[in-house]
């Protein structure tokens, strides 16, 4: 029988960060994960955007999460000798006078001004369709694929990963912990993305998974370096003239199948944004583990204290994952209470 402190189900951003913080606290963990190249963490845009939505509101807890996440990501960069955190301004292409006025007003609003680098009338640069103006928002790009793959290699090398799928029928609840197959642990923590909505221990929680599709395009003439762009779609420069383009939301088809309609929606947005030619080289679909209140699901099951969850990070997972994984680790190791707004229902 294998003994461990914690079983972690899933090795997306949530599972990766939770393992890291528990290991830093001196705990031994075994991660159970069946690799999925189309998981939300793998095909994420990696964008950290402080201002969102048509009303240009600041992301919930943005400053707190950002102040925590940046040094945490930088420590993993040093640990693995890779670069995953990139400072990148997000250029919003503004199509109306109202959009321009709204951004100008926001740039003078307390709590927002330091996030907005510029608001200007006129076109941003060649390669993009005419616009009334543009705004530059101070953001970041996080290379989630590079991080997750590097961390997975570390788990493999240290025998802390099993390539497997956890069926709850195989889980035995013990008076002092849990047993899964030949492994015993104090607790099992589910970081399984959208599959949490199908987990019988958590079907009562307000899950709202939604599907997003992305295109990888090649546009050599665009030469977009050092910026992210937000128009009808987001554009994220990758390498060798490739760009991540997306994404949209589909709450009706919860699967990982790329669709003609999904591609058409993104390409329509790109054609309204770009004046340079591009070629689609890949088309992917994934499922975001979101919630109805757009708040993460973090904590211990009220009836079964051997079981916990870290889920529901949605579109903000690149920023939320480190912060809330740390809060959960503090609960597990030091019994530090969680904020009420993220406690389990």
What are the chain's domains?
A: 2-43+146-206+292-342 (3.50.50.60), 86-140+208-288 (3.30.9.10)
Res 134: pLDDT? 97
pLDDT digits 0-9 by tens, 280-295: 999 999 999 999 888 9
Res 129: pLDDT? 95
pLDDT beyond 70 at 343: no
pLDDT digits 0-9 by tens, 195-217: 999 999 999 999 999 999 999 99
pLDDT beyond 60 at 136: yes
Cβ pair 315, 286 in contact under 8 A: no
Under the banding of pLDDT at 50, 70 and 90, the label for residue 249 is: confident
Res 264: pLDDT? 96
Res 344: pLDDT? 65
Res 187: pLDDT? 98
Phi, psi of 50 (to 5 degrees): -75, -25
Per cent of the chain over pLDDT 70 is 99
pLDDT beyond 90 at 309: yes
DSSP code per residue over 131-197: -SEEEEEEEEEE-HHHHHHHHHHHHHHTT-EE-----GGGEEEETTEEEETTEEEEEEEE--GGGGG
Res 342: pLDDT? 77
Res 90: pLDDT? 97
Q: For residue 4, give the 3-state DSSP assignment.
A: strand
Res 240: pLDDT? 83
Could you tell me what percentage of the chain is helix, strand and coil, using 3-state DSSP and rounding each to the nearest 5? 30, 30, 40
Neighbours of 14 (CB within 10 A): 32
More confident residue, 249 or 88: 88
pLDDT digits 0-9 by tens, 16-37: 999 999 999 999 999 999 999 8
**What pTM was estimated for this model as a whole?**
0.96
HSE-CB of 331 using CA atoms within 13 angstroms: 23
Structure-token pair, residue 77: 């960069």
* Mean pLDDT of the region 243-269: 93
Q: b/e string for 252-264 if b means 16 or more Cβ within 10 A?
A: eeeebebeeebbe
Of 240-244, 248-252, 275-279, which range is least confident? 248-252
Under the banding of pLDDT at 50, 70 and 90, the label for residue 224 is: confident
CA distance 188 to 184: 9
pLDDT digits 0-9 by tens, 151-176: 999 999 999 999 999 999 999 999 99
pLDDT beyond 90 at 141: yes
């Amino acid at each position: 029988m294998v003994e461990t402190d914690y079983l972690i189900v899933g090795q997306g951003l949530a599972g990766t960060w939770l393992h890291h913080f528990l290991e830093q606290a001196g705990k031994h963990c075994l991660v159970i994960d069946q690799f999925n190249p189309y998981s939300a963490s793998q095909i994420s845009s990696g964008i950290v955007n402080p201002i969102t939505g048509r009303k240009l509101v600041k992301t919930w807890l943005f400053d707190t999460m950002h102040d925590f996440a940046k040094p945490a990501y930088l420590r993993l960069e040093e640990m693995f000798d890779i670069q995953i955190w990139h400072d990148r301004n997000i250029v919003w292409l503004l199509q109306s006078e109202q959009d321009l006025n709204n951004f100008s007003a926001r740039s003078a609003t307390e709590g927002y001004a330091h996030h907005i680098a510029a608001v200007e009338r006129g076109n941003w640069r060649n390669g993009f369709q005419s616009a009334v103006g543009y705004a530059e928002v101070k953001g970041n790009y996080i290379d989630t694929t590079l991080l997750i793959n590097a961390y997975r290699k570390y788990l493999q090398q240290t025998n802390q990963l099993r390539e497997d799928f956890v069926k709850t029928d195989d889980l035995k609840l013990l008076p002092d912990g849990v047993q899964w197959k030949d492994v015993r642990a104090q607790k099992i923590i589910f970081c399984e993305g959208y599959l949490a909505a199908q987990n019988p221990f958590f079907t009562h929680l307000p899950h709202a998974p939604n599907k997003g599709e992305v295109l990888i395009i090649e546009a050599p003439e665009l030469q977009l370096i050092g910026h992210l762009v937000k128009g009808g779609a987001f554009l994220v420069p990758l390498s060798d003239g490739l760009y991540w383009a997306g994404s949209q939301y589909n709450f009706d088809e919860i699967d990982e199948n790329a669709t003609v309609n999904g591609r058409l929606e993104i390409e329509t947005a790109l054609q309204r944004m770009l004046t340079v030619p591009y070629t689609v080289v890949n088309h992917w679909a994934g499922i975001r583990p979101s919630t109805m209140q757009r708040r993460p699901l973090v904590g211990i099951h009220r009836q079964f204290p051997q079981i916990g969850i870290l889920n529901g990070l949605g579109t903000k997972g690149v920023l939320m994952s480190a912060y809330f994984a740390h809060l959960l680790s503090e609960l597990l190791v030091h019994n530090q209470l969680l904020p009420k707004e993220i406690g389990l229902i």
